[in-house]
Amino acid sequence: MTPEKIVRNFDRCSDWEERYLYLIELGECLPSYPNSKMIDQYLIEGCQSKVWLDLGYDPESRELTFLATSDAAIVKGLLALLRIAYHGKSPQEVLHFDTQAWFEVLELRSHLTPGRSQGLEAIVKKVQTTARSQLAGFPPPLI
């Protein structure tokens, strides 16, 4: 799945109710998140719902890894979108991907509560900080 395919799939939805259902479906496809990492160290502050995020970096492939979950179905769908945008991408690709423009094309901002938008922004910033740290040769900061 690619960000472009997500845009096409969103365009096929007749209304926002269908888009929400699609987001929920995407969230159900997230890889399983280990219970052992559902602890405060991985909890993202600033999110309306509980969100656990485990970001990593594979030095062999030079790609970021993105594993996340939430206690809210819509938020899990939003996490699935971010996984599509970031998982398996190099730090340079992460930093060059215009997440805000993608969200505008998907019309996400106008259909999310302010709390969800704020949480989504906190996650994007965390991923970008991790990517910058990798480019600078530092390990990712603790969450």
Round to whole Å and give the CA distance between 101 and 64: 21
Instruction: For residues 6-25, give the mean pLDDT.
Output: 95
Q: Are 119 and 103 contacting, i.e. CB atoms less than 8 angstroms apart?
A: no
> What's the topology of domain 3-135?
Sufe protein. Chain: A (3.90.1010)
Round to whole Å and give the CA distance between 69 and 132: 23
pLDDT in tens, 25-68: 999 999 999 999 999 999 988 777 899 999 998 889 999 999 99
Q: Give the pLDDT score at 117.
A: 86
- Going from N- to C-terminal start, the domains of the chain cover 3-135
The band of 5, judged by pLDDT with boundaries at 50, 70 and 90, is: very high
Q: Catalogue the active-site residues.
A: 47
Q: Give the pLDDT score at 116.
A: 86
